[in-house]
């Protein structure tokens, strides 16, 4: 089977969040058995130099151009082929993206991503793939172009985060009615705007999201972010497939970013060395026998850090030391800076995005806290399992699909769970974490058990092939 993924992020070239890791790990697994390719924008600040093959592909059929601005831009853009293992990458080399230092938070995103999506649609026809697989709103219009075209291919659209839908004022999107798109925009209309994600949800041959738990949540509000009715009408074609991870990439026995490698045999001594080293690096004189809680993430409402702060402000008796890495909401950053400065024996905050330090936190921490209010899948709880770091998570989306806490079956629990948005529930969860940490034997057993969990794509990638095959069958059936 030939598959083309269209995405705004792909690790290690462009990473802003879980989408990037998911794309690179799932395509690595798919490329072992299928012809797998990925289209992504070429920006100024790629985190790795691509291995270009020298092959170049067009972004529009030059024969049919009359001369709109969109067509002109697409005709001066091209795809540059590169290789990443067995995966073929197609970098969209275009004046729209070439000079951008970062992929998001640029003006005119509606225009840039619409043209990128059209180029991906065109590329999938050139490459004659069997399935076009688009991810999130940035490439959602690629699905819509296929549905509007007589040559349209079977499409799969994956929602990684429904909170970002690419909804834009209609007057800004007039170009979509002209050359080369000639779109009927009716199905994009939603709540007084044009909504790119809603368009893909309405017409994709199959729709997926990144965990079964989140799939069920978004069929209702508020988790459906205004689209629960649209998703419900696609219920038969809408599945949740839990993300997997790249077990070679996230492996404490080979990770070159951490202070000391370890495995299930020597994790007790070596995790302690990681802990001592991180205290040295952050220049805090903390007793290494105290439990560390790691936290990494975007400081947005979604991640529920307000719940953490509410608990933190009140619970001075807890023995935990928090190491927090992230950036985003300024008010939250300021409060974290405040605690990091005035409570040096309780919390350390590093503002920024730092892949290496993130892995050091995973390796050094005893627990990892994710208080999300919603979480489509979440990856850090699975990375934490791999690194023998017990996750403490809220009962939402993919977190509740991947972490088990059963008071009647402690020996099979894989973390600690509390109620989303409830700081009192988090207080009790932290009390349980403290009790668990003090019960050294039980704590070590849990660490060993979670390190042995299998979160690889090997056992899960088949679910995507089932979706692809059923999309191909459905498209053929509706075309006949």
Stretch that binds ligand ADP, among 11-19, 33-41, 63-71, 405-413 (CB under 6 A): 11-19
- Residues 323-382 interacting with ligand ADP (rule: CB under 6 A): 325-327, 353-355, 358, 377-380
Among 193, 284, 290, 298, binds ligand ADP (CB under 6 A): 298
- As a whole number of angstroms, the distance between CA 444 and CA 431 comes to 18
Cis, peptide link before residue 180, omega less than 30° from 0 = yes
Q: Which is nearer to ligand ADP, 173 or 296 (CB)?
A: 296
- As a whole number of angstroms, the distance between CA 250 and CA 268 comes to 18
Q: Which is nearer to ligand ADP, 74 or 210 (CB)?
A: 210
Output the smallest distance, CB 335 to ligand ADP, in A. 17
Q: Is 420 in the site for ligand ADP (CB under 6 A)?
A: no
Stretch that binds ligand ADP, among 119-127, 279-287, 320-328, 464-472 (CB under 6 A): 320-328
Q: Residue 265: how many CB atoms within 10 A of its CB?
A: 10
Residue 182, sorted as left (phi over 0), alpha (psi -120 to 50) or beta, turns out to be left
- As a whole number of angstroms, the distance between CA 336 and CA 118 comes to 42
Stretch that binds ligand ADP, among 14-22, 124-132, 140-148, 455-463 (CB under 6 A): 14-22
Q: Which is nearer to ligand ADP, 17 or 421 (CB)?
A: 17
Output the smallest distance, CB 296 to ligand ADP, in A. 5
Q: Residue 348: how many CB atoms within 10 A of its CB?
A: 24
Q: Which is nearer to ligand ADP, 155 or 380 (CB)?
A: 380
Output the smallest distance, CB 311 to ligand ADP, in A. 20
Task: Kindly state the number of chain residues that form the binding site for ligand ADP, as judged by CB under 6 A.
Answer: 18
Q: Which is nearer to ligand ADP, 355 or 406 (CB)?
A: 355
Q: Which is nearer to ligand ADP, 24 or 311 (CB)?
A: 24
- As a whole number of angstroms, the distance between CA 303 and CA 309 comes to 12
Element (H, E) at 65: none
Contacts (Cβ under 8 Å, ≥6 apart) of 54? 81
Q: Where are the beta strands (DSSP E) in 241-315?
A: 292-299
Q: Which is nearer to ligand ADP, 41 or 326 (CB)?
A: 326
Output the smallest distance, CB 95 to ligand ADP, in A. 28
Residue number closest to ligand ADP, CB atom: 18
Q: Which is nearer to ligand ADP, 240 or 378 (CB)?
A: 378
Q: Which is nearer to ligand ADP, 298 or 432 (CB)?
A: 298
- As a whole number of angstroms, the distance between CA 295 and CA 389 comes to 11
x-marked contacts with ligand ADP along 55-94 as a string, rule CB under 6 A: ----------------------------------------
Stretch that binds ligand ADP, among 35-43, 120-128, 322-330, 464-472 (CB under 6 A): 322-330
- Residues 17-46 interacting with ligand ADP (rule: CB under 6 A): 17-19, 21
383 to each of 44, 238, 369, 388, 414, how far by Cα in Å? 29, 27, 12, 9, 13
Provide the H-helix boundaries in 343-421. Answer: 355-364, 380-386, 397-402
Pairing mode, strands 155-159 and 51-58:
unpaired
x-marked contacts with ligand ADP along 379-398 as a string, rule CB under 6 A: xx------------------
Handedness of CA 45, 89, 112, 326 (dihedral sign): negative
Q: Which is nearer to ligand ADP, 81 or 249 (CB)?
A: 249
Pairing mode, strands 155-159 and 206-209:
parallel
Handedness of CA 96, 98, 99, 100 (dihedral sign): positive
- Residues 258-297 interacting with ligand ADP (rule: CB under 6 A): 296-297
Provide the H-helix boundaries in 44-108. Answer: 69-75
Output the smallest distance, CB 154 to ligand ADP, in A. 27
Which positions touch ligand ADP (CB under 6 A)? 17-19, 21, 296-298, 325-327, 353-355, 358, 377-380
């Amino acid at each position: 089977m030939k598959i083309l993924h269209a995405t705004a992020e792909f690790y290690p070239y462009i990473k802003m969040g879980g989408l990037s890791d998911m794309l690179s790990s799932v395509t690595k697994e798919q490329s072992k058995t299928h012809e797998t390719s990925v289209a992504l924008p070429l920006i100024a600040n790629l985190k790795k130099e691509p291995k270009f093959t020298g092959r170049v592909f067009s972004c529009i059929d030059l024969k049919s151009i009359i001369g709109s601005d969109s067509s002109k831009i697409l005709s001066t853009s091209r795809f540059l082929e590169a290789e990443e293992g067995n995966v073929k990458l197609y970098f969209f080399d275009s004046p729209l993206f070439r000079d951008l230092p970062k992929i998001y938070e640029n003006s005119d995103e509606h225009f840039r991503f619409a043209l990128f999506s059209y180029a991906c649609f065109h590329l999938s026809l050139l490459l004659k793939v069997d399935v076009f697989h688009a991810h999130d709103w940035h490439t959602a219009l690629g699905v819509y172009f296929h549905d509007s075209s007589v040559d349209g291919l079977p499409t799969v659209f994956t929602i990684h985060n429904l909170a970002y839908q690419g909804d834009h004022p209609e007057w800004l999107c007039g170009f979509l009615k002209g050359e080369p798109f000639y779109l009927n925009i009716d199905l994009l209309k939603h709540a007084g705007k044009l909504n790119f994600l809603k368009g893909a949800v309405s017409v994709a041959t199959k729709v997926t999201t990144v965990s079964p738990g989140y799939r069920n949540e978004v069929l209702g509000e508020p988790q459906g972010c205004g689209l629960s009715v649209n998703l419900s009408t696609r219920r038969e074609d809408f599945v949740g497939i839990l993300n997997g991870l790249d077990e070679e990439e996230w492996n404490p026995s080979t990770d070159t970013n951490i202070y000391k490698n370890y495995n299930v045999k020597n994790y007790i001594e070596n995790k302690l060395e990681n802990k001592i080293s991180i205290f040295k690096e952050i220049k805090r004189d903390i007793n290494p026998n105290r439990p560390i809680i790691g936290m990494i993430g975007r400081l947005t409402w979604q991640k529920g850090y307000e719940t953490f702060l509410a608990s933190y402000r009140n619970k001075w008796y807890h023995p935990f030391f928090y190491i927090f890495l992230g950036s985003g909401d300024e008010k939250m950053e300021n409060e974290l800076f405040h605690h990091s400065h005035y409570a040096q024996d309780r919390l350390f905050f590093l503002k920024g995005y730092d892949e290496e330090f993130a892995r050091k936190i995973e390796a050094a921490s005893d627990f990892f806290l994710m208080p999300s209010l919603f979480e489509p899948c979440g990856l850090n709880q699975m990375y934490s399992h791999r690194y023998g770091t017990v996750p403490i998570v809220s009962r939402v989306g993919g977190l509740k699909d991947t972490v088990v806490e059963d008071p009647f079956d402690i020996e099979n629990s894989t973390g600690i769970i509390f109620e989303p948005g409830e700081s009192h529930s988090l207080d009790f969860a932290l009390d349980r974490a403290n009790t668990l940490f003090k019960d050294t034997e039980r704590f070590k057993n849990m660490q060993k058990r979670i390190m042995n969990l299998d979160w690889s794509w090997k056992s899960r990638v088949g679910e995507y092939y089932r979706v692809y095959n059923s999309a191909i069958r459905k498209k053929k059936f509706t075309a006949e």
